[in-house]
Each structure stands twice: as structure tokens, then as C-alpha cells.
Structure 1
Amino acid sequence: MAKRVQVVLNEDVLSLGKDGDLVEVAPGYARNFLLPFGKALPVTPAVMKQVQHRRAKKAEQEAALKQEALDFQTALVTIGRFTVKKQVGEDGVLFGTVTNGDVAEVILEATKKEIDRREITVPEIHSTGKYKVQVKLHSEVTAEINLEVSSY
């Protein structure tokens, strides 16, 4: 059996690892593909130090993004209630439905911060009333906002 060599990945490689990972591969794979195309570097103390530094920077950036999401979650809770106005027929039944795009527009008007509509989970809304809507702000932070649907 051939000896394995350790390399540090410079970029994500499918089915092998992510940028900065220390992986063991066959010598031929490293010599013929990973190293010539700049996808990996041979393991040295200097390279390992760079990897540690990049991981620390990435962790700082992730912490800053999470803190920003927590601050925005607090702002959404402080606002309390968002109102969507829709055309209503008899018995308070809406023409159409309230979509996550409608909720994103209301949040943008109130906070001046744009949220991707795909990160908003709206229950089925076909009549006027009060509803709870989930807004995913970060992979670990989700805000629940109160949505009031009324007629205009």
C-alpha cells in the first residue's frame, strides 16, 4: 500500500474537504492534481501557522455576523408589529394571499434593511388577523415577528 501525504487545501475540493482543511491524500493525487493547480499546499510549519491565522479571522467574521443578526433580531422585537394591507372581500377573506415578499417589503419600509424573502417563513394567510412569522437572520438566529393583516 502506498504511503499517504498530508496537504492543506487552498480552496474547497469536492468530496475531499473545505478551504484550510488538513487532509491525507495519495501521493500521485497531490503531485499530479492538487499541487500543480494550486488547490493545496504541502504541510509545513509556516503553512500551518497561516491556516491557524485564517481560521481565527474567519471565526471573528462569523462572530461579528452573528452579533449583527442578534442586534437586528432585537430591533425587530422592539418594533413589535408589522402591518400588511391587502384588498379584502366579504367576511374578511383576502383576494390572494400574503407572501414572504410582502413581509420583506414591510420590514424594509420599517427598518431600512433588506431581508432575503427566501429567509422568511409565512403561514398560510387567507384572511385578516394577526399572525406569527419566522425570519431567519443567521444560521443560528431566528426572529419571530408579529404580522397584522388588514384591509385598505
Structure 2
Amino acid sequence: MAKRVQVVLSQDVYKLGRDGDLVEVAPGYARNFLLPQGLAQPVTRGVLKQVEFRRAREAARLVAEKEAAVARKTALETIGRFVIKKQAGEGESIFGTVTNGDVAEAIQVATTQEVDRREITLPEIHKLGFYKVQVKLHADVTAEVEIQVAAL
């Protein structure tokens, strides 16, 4: 049985681990490939402290992002309703449809917050009226707002 050595990855390595991971590899793999290529560092107390510091900083950043998303959700839901004006024909039907871009633009005009149009989920809208729209602000935070499609 060959002895395994521990190294800390400096970069993502395919099928081995991500940057900052502590992994066990064969000594030859570490000595001949990972270390010379700069993909890993030998394990020392200083390197482990750096890894822990990086992980703590990343965790704090993720918490801050989620808190900001919750604040944006509260702001969007406080406003509640956004108005989109479209040209309408007979019987309350509109020409064309309301798109994600239209909703994102209406939100940006009302709140000065930019929302990615790809993160907006809305039903097919072909008539005037009120509709519920979901806006994904973060992996764990989704705001539900109401849009009103009105005639020009």
C-alpha cells in the first residue's frame, strides 16, 4: 500500500476538487504533477489558516448576498403592483405579449433596481388585467409581485 499525502488545491482540478479543498492524493501525483504545475500546495498550518480564512470570508459574502436579496424582496413586495402599458385591441386583447424584459423594465423604472429578465417567471399574457409574477432574486429568495397590463 502506498502512502497518501495531503495537499491543498490552489485551483479547481477536474475530478479531484475545488480551490481550497484539502485532498489526499498519491505522492507521485502530488510531487510530479500538482505541485510543479502550481495546482496544489503542501499542507502546513499557515496554508490551513489561509483556507479557513477564505472559507469564512466566502460564507460571510454569501450571507450578505442573501440579506441583500431579502431586502430587495421586501422592497418589491412593498410596492406590490407594477403597471405595464401595451397597445390594446378589441375585447381587452393586447397586440403582442408581455415579456420578461417588459416586466424587468417596469420594475427598474419604479424602483431603480436592476432585475435580470431571465430570473422572471410570468404566465402568458395576451389580455389586459392583473397577473402574478415571480422574480427570483437569489437561490433561496423569490419575490411575488403583481403586474397590471393597461391600455396605452
Shift of residue 141, structure 1, vs aligned partner: 0.8
User: What is the DSSP-based 3-state SS (H/G/I as helix, E as strand, rest coil) of the residue aligned with 2:12?
Assistant: coil
CA distance in 2, matches of 1:150, 1:7: 62
Correspondence for 2:53 = 53
**Alignment RMSD:** 1.3
Q: In the alignment, what sits opposite 2:136?
A: 136
Amino acid at match of 1:134: Q
**TM-fit CA distance, 1:67:** 0.6
Listed as ranges, the matches of 1:33-72 within 5 Å are 33-72=33-72
Query: What is the correspondence of 1:1-152 to structure 2 with a 5 Å cutoff?
Result: 1-152=1-152
Cα distance, 1:57 vs. partner? 0.6
Which of 87-96 and 57-66 deviates more? 87-96
Instruction: Measure the CA separation in 1 of the matches of 2:30 and 2:66.
Output: 36
TM-score, L = length of structure 1:
0.93
Note the alpha carbon deviations across 1:111-130, whole angstroms, 9 max, x for none.
Answer: 11111111111111111111
Distance 1:119 1:150 in 2: 23
CA distance, structure 1, for counterparts of residue 53 and residue 18 of structure 2: 16
Residue 26 of structure 1, CA deviation: 2.4
In percent, how many aligned pairs have the same letter?
65
Structure 2 alignment gaps of length 5 or more: none
Q: Unpaired runs of 5+ in structure 1?
A: none
The aligned amino acid for 1:46 is G
Q: How far apart, in 2, do the equivalents of 1:15 and 1:87 lie?
A: 54
Distance 2:42 2:105 in 1: 50
User: Deviation at 1:4?
Assistant: 2.2
Residues of 1 paired with 2:139 and 2:93: CA distance?
A: 35
1:88 offset after TM fit, Å? 1.2
1:42-74 Cα distance to aligned partner (Å, 9 max, x none): 111111111111111111111111111110100
